[in-house]
Amino acid sequence: MDMLGRFAMKLAMLCFGILLATALPVDAASPAPADILKNSPDVDWRPLDPSSLLVMSLPAGPVVIDLAPAFAPASVANITALVRAHYFDGSTVVRAQDNFVVQWAQDEEREKAAPALKGQAEFERPLSATFIALADSDTYAARTGFDGDFPAATDGRQEWLTHCYGMVAVARDTAPDSGTGVELYAVIGQAPRQLDRNFTPVGRVVQGVERLSVLPRGTGSLGFYQTAAERVPIASIRFASDLSSAEQPKLEVLKTSSATFKAYVEARRNQIGMYVRPAGHMDVCNIPLPVRASR
- Encode pLDDT of 157-198 as tens digits: 999 999 999 999 999 999 999 999 999 999 999 999 999 999
> Domain ranges in the chain?
6-293
pLDDT over 60 at 204, yes or no: yes
pTM of the model: 0.89
Summarised one tens digit per residue, pLDDT across range 56-115 is 999 999 999 999 999 999 999 999 999 999 999 999 999 999 999 999 999 988 887 777
Residue 3's pLDDT band (cuts 50, 70, 90) = very low
pLDDT at 224 over 80: yes
Confidence of residue 29 (pLDDT cuts 50, 70, 90): low
Q: What pLDDT, on a 0 to 100 scale, did the predictor assign at position 109?
A: 81
169, amino acid identity: A
Report d(CA 122, CA 199) in Å as an integer. 8
Average pLDDT for the chain: 91
Structure confidence at residue 21 as a pLDDT band (50, 70, 90): very low
Residue 199 has pLDDT above 90, yes or no: yes
Predicted pLDDT at 88? 97
**Alpha helices, DSSP H, located in the chain:** 3-23, 33-38, 73-84, 108-112, 210-213, 259-269
% the chain with pLDDT above 70: 90
Banded model confidence at residue 215, pLDDT cuts 50, 70, 90: very high
Tell me: pLDDT of 252 over 70: yes
Longest dimension (CA), the chain: 82
The backbone torsions φ and ψ at residue 268, rounded to the nearest 5 degrees and listed phi first, read -70, -35
> Is the pLDDT at 22 greater than 70, yes or no?
no
Pick the CATH number of 6-293 from 3.40.50.300, 2.40.100.10, 1.10.357.10, 3.40.228.10: 2.40.100.10
Q: What is the dihedral of CA 142, 147, 152, 158, to 10 degrees?
A: -60
Mean pLDDT of 114-139: 95
At 2, is the pLDDT very low, low, confident or very high (cuts 50, 70, 90)? low
**Measured between alpha carbons, how far is residue 147 from residues 5, 59, 67, 110, 117 in Å?**
55, 33, 13, 36, 28
Answer for the pair 276, 20: CB distance below 8 angstroms, yes or no. no
